[in-house]
Amino acid sequence: MKKTIIDAGHGGEDPGAVSEKLREKDLTLKIALYTEEHLKNNYEVEVKMTRRNDVFVSLNERARIANRFKADLFVSIHINSSINGTGFESFIYTDTGEQTLQFQKILHKEIEAALVAEGTFKNRGLKTANYFVLRKTNMPAILTENLFIDLDAEYLSSESFLKNIGVAHARGIAKCLNLQEKI
Ligand SMILES: [Zn+2]
């Protein structure tokens, strides 16, 4: 059976991006849990989470969990920060194969479609970066930056919005790994 790792960014003593009312670590965990739920309910797949509650997990440990599990795909979920920023973007490692780029395209498109359905938003595009979890994981790895904690706070405060983004991640992962639907 195919295996995927869902990585909820930050946690515990590391809140990630923060605004007046929101903390990145809470939002990434919610999206990640919705992703896991939708995958488990609908597809034949083994899912592992790097965290399932508000605990600190080092970047090193996140990569180690993924490598030990021998996942087919690693997806790290984040919320962006920048006072004036808005929109969605995704990242893969700067020096990676064609397979990872294909997966990024599939996942990006799926999340983009969910965001368009929610209202207007800025598509910031498919990007590359030398991020630790992308570099240190042995399998195709994608990091999503799901809107911005300040300007996009209204969307991010909605539970149904977070669920839709989680479901979109699950659908994208299912397409990447060609998962069989549960009967
Ligand atoms: Zn982050």
The answer to whether residue 112 is domain-embedded is: yes
Which residues does residue 146 pair with via DSSP β-bridges, in sequence order? 88
The answer to whether residue 90 is domain-embedded is: yes
- C-alpha distances in angstroms, 100 versus 40, 117, 131? 23, 26, 15
The answer to whether residue 182 is domain-embedded is: no
The pLDDT of residue 160 is 97
Of 35-44, 66-75, 81-90, 164-173, minimum mean pLDDT range:
81-90
How many residues comprise the chain? Answer: 183
The answer to whether residue 67 is domain-embedded is: yes
The answer to whether residue 171 is domain-embedded is: yes
Rg (CA), the chain: 15
At 28, which CATH number?
3.40.630.40
Which residue is associated with the tokens 């592992």? Answer: 48
pLDDT tens per residue, range 113-122: 999 998 878 9
Q: How confident is the model at residue 165 (pLDDT cuts 50, 70, 90)?
A: very high
- C-alpha distances in angstroms, 90 versus 2, 9, 29, 75? 23, 14, 18, 10
**Cα 55 to ligand 1 centroid, rounded to whole Å:** 15
Q: CA–CA separation, 72 vs 89, rounded Å? A: 22
On whether the CB atoms of residues 30 and 24 are closer than 8 A, the answer is no
On whether the CB atoms of residues 91 and 133 are closer than 8 A, the answer is no
**Cα 117 to ligand 1 centroid, rounded to whole Å:** 24
Non-local CB neighbours of 102 within 8 Å, separated by 6+ positions: 176
Q: How confident is the model at residue 83 (pLDDT cuts 50, 70, 90)?
A: confident
**Cα 182 to ligand 1 centroid, rounded to whole Å:** 32
What is the crossing angle of helices 159-177 and 24-42, to 10°? 50
The answer to whether residue 183 is domain-embedded is: no
Q: How confident is the model at residue 159 (pLDDT cuts 50, 70, 90)?
A: very high
DSSP 30: H
**Cα 104 to ligand 1 centroid, rounded to whole Å:** 18
Total domains present in the chain: 1
pTM above 0.95, yes or no: yes
The answer to whether residue 97 is domain-embedded is: yes
Residue of 24, 36, 110, 145 marked catalytic? 145
Which residues does residue 78 pair with via DSSP β-bridges, in sequence order? 145
Domain range for 31 is 3-177
Concerning whether 24 is annotated as a catalytic residue, the answer is: no
DSSP 179: P
Q: What is the mean pLDDT of the chain?
A: 96
